[in-house]
Amino acid sequence: MSAAQPFPTIALVGRYASPGIAEPLNRLAAFLTGRGHRVLIDAETARLTPLPGYPAAPMAQLGHEAKLAIVIGGDGTMLSIARQLAPYDVPLIGINQGRLGFLTDVAVSDMESVLAAMLAGAYAEQTRTLLDATLARGAGGSERALALNDVFVNRGAVGGMIECAVNIDGRFVYAMRADGLIVATPTGSTAYALSAQGPIVDPGVAAFLLVPVAPHALTNRPIAVRDSVVIEIALLRGKDAGLHCDGQANFPLSEGDRVVVRRAAHRVRLLHPKDHDHFAMLRRKLHWSETPENLRPQ
């Protein structure tokens, strides 16, 4: 690997079955090939949006061969790909074809110019913590999933509030009745946890958030804990409850089930443009500098 070509093989992933994804994918593949990079297309992307002339590969092969992955889509696509590629230590760049784009921060309109600078070495790297969630069934057996944003235990569509007991590092913290409980990473602090009145946490802070959703007791407030702890949520009462990891891996919960959340062994590597400023991004996407009259529909 030469200093002039730090990313000889680049994986491309497009938002699955998204209208209009073919044009930016083709543009990007041609741009990268023209710069001398070997381009591999994610097999599922290629199945839904064929790109003739470019080899397709399953995710495991991309993890072994690619030195960089570029994802075109929204944050949901980035969440899925980040979890899959984290064990391979492959850095990711996100091209935003979604709405807010907290993780996909390069615009499609100027992706070539931005990527040219980044591929030449002008980028800033961040690492993001993953959650490792194990569902231990009261009746026996277990299931496991990773999450970059959050792990959410919630009430069902037809049931009332759930009641759960929370332990941290084996010590009882509280029992709570609520619509649900979110365990979020700093990355996930701008996702569902934000709408539940949780704080925004800088990605560099080594913390997890526990954010109640509509708690019965108003004294149940969001708390932050160090990310080295093990959090256990036991479902004491609640019909039709569920466990959701990044809103993409979903499991039904029964009374007596336990959800154990800890820091995952692998971290996600994100590459941003060199001038990336986390607070400027928040200001822009959350409209912090706008006055109410400027936010009113015209």
Give the residue numbers marked as catalytic.
Answer: 75
DSSP line for 200-213: P--TTS-EEEEEEE
The CA dihedral of 184, 187, 190, 191, to the nearest 10 degrees, is -60
DSSP line for the chain: --TT-S-SEEEEEE-TT-TT-HHHHHHHHHHHHHTT-EEEEEHHHHHHS--TTS-EE-HHHHHHH-SEEEEEE-HHHHHHHHHHHGGGT--EEEEE-SSS-SS--EEGGGHHHHHHHHHTT-EEEEEEEEEEEEEE-TTS-EEEEEESSEEEEE--SSS--EEEEEEETTEEEEEEEESEEEEE-TGGGGTHHHHTTPPP--TTS-EEEEEEES-SSTT---EEEETTS-EEEEEEE-TTEEEEETTTEEEEE-TT-EEEEEEEEEEEEEEEETT--HHHHHHHHTTTT--HHHHS--
The CA dihedral of 75, 103, 226, 131, to the nearest 10 degrees, is 40
